[in-house]
Structure 1
Amino acid sequence: MSTPTWDPNQYLRHADHRARPFADLLSRVPALPADLARIADLGCGPGNVTVRLAERWPTAHITGYDNSPEMLARTEEHEGRTPGGGRLDFAHADLTNWVPPETYDLIVSNAALQWVPGHLDAFPRWLDALAPGGTFAFQVPHNIDAPLHALMRELAASARWKDLLGDVLRREDSVHDPLVYLDRLTRLGCAVDVWETTYLQVLAGEDPVLDWVKGTGLRPALTALADEPEARDAFVTEYRDLLRDAYPAAPYGTVLPFRRLFAVARKGA
C-alpha cells in the first residue's frame, strides 16, 4: 500500500456522513480521569471532527496528529483556545511509529488506523501512555469486502492496470475481525466494548459513490497516477462504470451501505 496524497476539499464534501461515526464513538466514551483532560486525536485529518472533542470536554488540551501536510494546513482555522477554556492544537506525526510524548486521558482515532499497517502492535505503547482510568477509542471502516473496494482492487489487478496499481491499494487485512481487537485490548488489561454498525448512507448528485471514494479509498490510486493524467482519467472512468452498476441510483439518491467497527477500551484505574 502506498502513502496517498490527501485532498481536504474532496474529503470534506461528505463531512456529515464521515463525522457521524465519530459522534457515535464519543457517545460511548466514559468519564475521563482528569477534569483538565489531555487528549490525543490520531489521524485528525482537517480537524473538523477534532473540534467535537472540545465540545465534549471543553476544558481539555487536545492535540490532533496527522501525517498529511495538506490536511494539517486545513487545521489552522481550528487552533487556539476553545470556548470552554481548553486548547486545541495540531502536530505532524506518522502513526506507524508514533510514540506518545506524554500521558493522555483519552487517545482517540477516527477512520485512520486502516491506513496504519501493524497497528495492533502499537496498542501496548499507546495504552502505556494512558493515565489510569483513561480510554483508548477508535473507529475504522470494516467494509474492505464491499463492492466499493472489491471492484477497485479487481480493476487495479487487471492486465491493463496491474503494473501501475497492483500494490498501491489497501489490503484486505488492513482491518481485523472485531474479535481480534476485543481479544488484544482485553489481554492488555482493558475493559473493552467492541461493536459494528452499518450506515445506509444516502448520497446525492451524479456518481456520488465515486465522489465519496475519491476522498478516501481511491487516494492511493489517484496518487500513483498523478503524473499520468490520461491514465488516471481512464482508470477513474472504468471504475465509475463499475460503481454505477454496483450502486444504482434511486429517485431519492444512491444508497452506499457502509459498515464501521468501533472499540472503546478503558485502562484499569
Structure 2
Amino acid sequence: MSTPVWDPEQYLRFADERTRPLRDLLARVPALPHEPAATILDIGCGPGNSTAVLRERWPAARITGVDNSAEMLATARTEGEPTADYLLADARRYDPAAAAPDLIVSNAALQWIGFAPEHGARPEAGGPTGAGGPGGHLGLPARWAAALRPGGVIAFQVPGNFDAPSHTLLAGLRRSPRWRAALGEGAARAGVHEPGAYLAALAGAGCSADVWETTYSTLLPGPDPVLEWVKGTALRPVLTRLTDPAERAAFLAEYGALLREAYPAGPYGTVFPFRRIFAVAVKR
C-alpha cells in the first residue's frame, strides 16, 4: 500500500473550513490536569493549522505535533505554530507514553490508520481491512488512554462522509476499466467506524466518553470547488500514484465532471455537505 504524498498548500486552500470542526471539538474539552503548563500531543498535525488552534487555547502548554509527512511538518514549523515541537513519526507506531500527556488531540487523521470494518464501519466503497490491533484504528484509543496522566483527555474528530458522492464516485472511477490497473488496488485508503464503535472503544480503555456527529453544510466558492477540496485530502493517494501529467489530467477531468453533476453550483456557490464524527474522553 503506497503512502500518500501531501501538499500543504492545497490542503490549506480551505483552512478555515477544515479547522472549524477542531474548534468545535476543543470547545468540549474540559480543564486539563496540569493547566496552564499542560503537555499536549497533536497526532496527525499536518501543516500545523490544528497546532496553532491548540496554542490559542493553551498558550503556556508544551505542544508536540506528530505527523508522518515531512512536507506537512516543514509547513507546520514555519507557517503553522513555530513555537511547538514537531516529530516525524507514524501514528501506528508512535508511543506517546514517554511524553505523559495531559491531552492527545487528533484532527481528521485517524481515518487514514488501518482498521477492520466490523462494528458498523463506513469504509470507502471496496475499502480497507487494516489492522484492528494496538496499531490499528480502534486499537489506538486504548494505547492513547494508557499514555495519559490520570484525568487526561483524548479528543479527536474524523470525517464521516465515506458514503457521500465525493467518495463513492471516486471509488467507482478507480475500479472502472480505464483506471482499475493503476488505481483499483494498492493505494492508501481511508475509512471510519460509526460513533458507537468509538464510544465502546474509549469506554473499554477506561475513559468516560462523549461521542457525537455533526453535518456541516459548507458553501464553497469558485469553479470545481469540491474537486479542489478533495485534491487536498481524499485524492492524495490517487494523485500520488498518477505520476504521468497526461494521465493525471485525464483522471481529474473525468472525476471533476462527475462531481459537478453530484454537487451542482448555485448562484452563491456550491453546497458541500460534510458529516464529521467527534469524540472527547477523560481517563478515569
* Counterpart among 262, 267, 273 of residue 251 in structure 1: 267
Which residue in the other structure is 2:55 paired with? 54
Distance 1:150 1:80 in 2: 38
* Counterpart among 137, 140, 148 of residue 130 in structure 1: 148
1:137-157 Cα offsets, whole Å, 9 max, x none, are 100000000000000000000
Distance 1:127 1:105 in 2: 10
Distance 1:92 1:40 in 2: 13
Question: How far did 1:96 drift?
Answer: 1.6
1:94-109 to 2 correspondences below 5 Å: 94-100=90-96, 101-109=98-106
Distance 1:188 1:223 in 2: 36
* Bigger mean CA deviation after superposition, 209-218 or 1-10: 1-10
Amino acid at match of 1:98: Y
* Counterpart among 189, 193, 210 of residue 206 in structure 2: 189
2:109 is equivalent to residue 112 of structure 1: yes
1:12-62 Cα offsets, whole Å, 9 max, x none, are 000010000000000000110002100000000110221111111111000
Which residue in the other structure is 1:28 paired with? 28
Is the alpha carbon distance of 1:144 and 1:2 closer, same or farther for their aligned partners in structure 2, counting shifts above 3 Å?
A: farther
1:186-265 to 2 correspondences below 5 Å: 186-226=203-243, 228-265=244-281
Amino acid at match of 1:123: P
Checking the alignment, whether the CA contact within 8 Å between 1:198 and 1:257 is kept in structure 2 is: yes
Which residue in the other structure is 1:170 paired with? 189
1:69-88 to 2 correspondences below 5 Å: 69-77=70-78, 78=80, 80-81=82-83, 88=84
Question: How far did 1:91 drift?
Answer: 1.1
Checking the alignment, whether the CA contact within 8 Å between 1:25 and 1:262 is kept in structure 2 is: yes
Distance 1:143 1:169 in 2: 17
Number of residue pairs the alignment of both structures matches: 259
Question: How far did 1:98 drift?
Answer: 1.1
Distance 1:74 1:134 in 2: 29
Amino acid at match of 2:156: F
Which residue in the other structure is 2:13 paired with? 13
Amino acid at match of 1:115: W
Amino acid at match of 2:279: A
Where has structure 1 moved over 3 Å in runs of 4 or more? 78-81
1:79-124 Cα offsets, whole Å, 9 max, x none, are 554xxxxxx1111110121111320000000000001112211222
Amino acid at match of 1:255: V
More strand by share: 1
Distance 1:54 1:221 in 2: 33
Which secondary structure does the structure 1 equivalent of 2:274 belong to? strand
Checking the alignment, whether the CA contact within 8 Å between 1:153 and 1:169 is kept in structure 2 is: no
Unpaired segments ≥5 residues, structure 2 = 115-135
Distance 1:177 1:59 in 2: 35
TM-score normalised by structure 2 residue count: 0.89
Unpaired segments ≥5 residues, structure 1 = 82-87
Question: How far did 1:231 drift?
Answer: 1.0
The share of aligned pairs that are identical, in percent, is: 59
Is the alpha carbon distance of 1:230 and 1:16 closer, same or farther for their aligned partners in structure 2, counting shifts above 3 Å?
A: same
Checking the alignment, whether the CA contact within 8 Å between 1:79 and 1:90 is kept in structure 2 is: no
Which residue in the other structure is 1:43 paired with? 44
Give the root-mean-square deviation of aligned CA atoms: 1.1
Distance 1:192 1:108 in 2: 14
Distance 1:112 1:76 in 2: 19
